[in-house]
Amino acid sequence: MSFFQCLFWKEVEHFEIREILRCILHTIMFHRALGLVRPKDVDMEIFDITYVQCGDVELEKKIDEKIEQFICWVEKHPNKKSQVCLSFYEVKNNKNMWFSNKVERLYWEQWYINLNVAQHPRANSSKSHLSKVLDAGDGALEERSARRVALEVTLREVLFQIIKFVNEKKDHIPPIPGREGISFPYEINIPSSSDTTFGIDMFKRMLQTGHPTMLS
Amino acid sequence: MDVQLNSSSDYVRFERIISQFLLKALHLILESRIPSFKPREHSGELLSDSRVKNSDKWFNLVLGDRPATLEKLQFWHRNLMDPMVIDIIVVHRELKSSSGNDREVLEGAAVETVIERWIVQYESHRSMPMQHGDNSLLYKKMYQKSIVLFRCLCSMMRLLPAYRIFKQLSSSNQLCDIDIIYKVSSFGHPFSREEEKLMKQYSFNSIEAVNGRLCVSVSYRSNLSDFDLEDSASFPPVIIPDYVGSPATDPMRAFPSMDKVSRATSFSSRGGRPSSSMPSERPHSWSGGIHGAAAFMENHPFGGSPPVHRGSFMPQDDPAFQTSSQGQRVHNYGNPRGHYKTSSYDESLSPPFSPSSSPSAPTYFLSHSPSQSRFRPESAPVAIPRAVLNRSPRYLSPNLSDPSRQSLPPLSLKSMGPEPSSHGSSCPSGNRLSRKLEALRPGESYGEAHQSFGSKVSKDGKDESGRFSGLLSSGSSPHRAFSRTSSRLSFQDELDVDDFSLPFDVDDVDTSDSQARILMAKFQWIPSGFRVCLMELQGFVTIHTVIFSSTSSPDALPNFLVKIMSYRGGPVLRTLAFWASCLDYAFAAAFGVSATYSFRSRASVSSLATEICDDTWGFLIQSLDARKGGEFDSAFSLGRKSQDAAVGALVRMLRTAPPLRQDSSIYSTHSQSIQQEGDFGTSTGFFMPRKAADALEELKSYREMKDLLLSKSGNRVVSREDAQAPPLDIKGTKI
Distances (CA, A) of B143 to B25, B81, B232, B652: 14, 18, 44, 78
Please give the average per-residue pLDDT across B687-696, as a whole number. Answer: 76
- pLDDT confidence of residue B41: 56
Higher pLDDT, B170 or B451: B170
d(CA B16, CA B10): 10
CB-CB neighbors (< 8 A) of B61 in chain A: 36-37, 39
DSSP B382-404: EPPPPP-----GGGS-TTTS-TT
Please give the average per-residue pLDDT across B592-600, as a whole number. Answer: 36
d(CA B374, CA B529): 74
- The whole domain housing A89 covers 3-214
CB-CB neighbors (< 8 A) of B57 in chain A: 36
Out of B50-64, B241-255, B504-518, B601-615, give the one with best mean pLDDT. Answer: B50-64
- pLDDT confidence of residue A94: 63
Whether residue A156 and residue B155 make contact (CB cut-off 8 A), yes or no, is no
CB-CB neighbors (< 8 A) of A173 in chain B: 144, 148
Nearest to A167 among B45, B158, B205 (CB): B205
Contacts (Cβ under 8 Å, ≥6 apart) of B508 = B461, B462, B466, B467, B468
d(CA B699, CA B561): 8
- pLDDT confidence of residue A2: 52
Confidence of residue B134 (pLDDT cuts 50, 70, 90): low
CB-CB neighbors (< 8 A) of A31 in chain B: 148, 151-152, 155
Interface residues on B facing A, Cβ-Cβ cutoff 8 A:
42-47, 52, 57, 60-64, 140, 144-145, 147-149, 151-152, 154-156, 158-159, 163-164, 167, 204-205, 353-355
Distances (CA, A) of B292 to A14, A103, B175, B289, B300: 48, 59, 18, 6, 12
Chain A nearest-CA distance from B479, in A, is 51
d(CA B704, CA B676): 16
Whether residue A163 and residue B44 make contact (CB cut-off 8 A), yes or no, is no
Please write the tens of the pLDDT for every residue from B540-592. Answer: 444 444 433 444 444 444 444 444 444 444 444 444 444 444 444 433 333 33
Confidence of residue B64 (pLDDT cuts 50, 70, 90): confident
CB-CB neighbors (< 8 A) of B140 in chain A: 175
Higher pLDDT, A178 or B606: A178
Please write the tens of the pLDDT for every residue from B186-240. Answer: 888 888 888 888 899 999 999 988 778 999 999 999 888 877 666 544 444 455 5
How many domains does chain A divide into? 1
Number of cross-chain residue pairs from A and B with Cβ atoms under 8 Å apart: 97
Whether residue A176 and residue B60 make contact (CB cut-off 8 A), yes or no, is yes
Q: In B32-159, where does DSSP find H-type helix?
A: 68-72, 136-159
- pLDDT confidence of residue B59: 92
CB-CB neighbors (< 8 A) of B144 in chain A: 34, 170, 173, 175-176
Higher pLDDT, B724 or A17: A17
Beta strands in B19-171 (DSSP E): 84-93, 96-100, 103-107, 110-124
Chain B nearest-CA distance from A100, in A, is 35
DSSP state of B96: E
d(CA B422, CA B406): 16
Please write the tens of the pLDDT for every residue from B602-622. Answer: 444 444 444 444 443 434 334
Please write the tens of the pLDDT for every residue from A59-78. Answer: 999 999 999 999 888 888 87
Share of chain B above pLDDT 70, in %: 28
Chain A nearest-CA distance from B41, in A, is 9
Which residue does chain A place closest to B57, by CA atoms?
A: A36
CATH number at residue A205: 3.30.900
Whether residue B158 and residue A50 make contact (CB cut-off 8 A), yes or no, is yes
d(CA B452, CA B430): 14
A121 touches chain B (CB under 8 A): no
Out of B61-75, B114-128, B356-370, give the one with best mean pLDDT. Answer: B114-128
Contacts (Cβ under 8 Å, ≥6 apart) of A99 = none
Q: Which of A34-38, A174-178, A212-216, B674-678 has the lowest average pLDDT? A: A212-216
Please give the average per-residue pLDDT across B313-337, as a whole number. Answer: 39
- pLDDT confidence of residue A30: 94
d(CA B345, CA B366): 11
d(CA A185, CA A92): 12
Out of B133-137, B620-624, B646-650, give the one with best mean pLDDT. Answer: B646-650
Chain B nearest-CA distance from A77, in A, is 32
- pLDDT confidence of residue B243: 59
- pLDDT confidence of residue A191: 80
d(CA B718, CA B713): 10
Share of chain B above pLDDT 90, in %: 11
Chain B nearest-CA distance from A35, in A, is 6
Beta strands in A38-169 (DSSP E): 40-43, 50-53, 82-93, 103-117
- pLDDT confidence of residue B644: 79
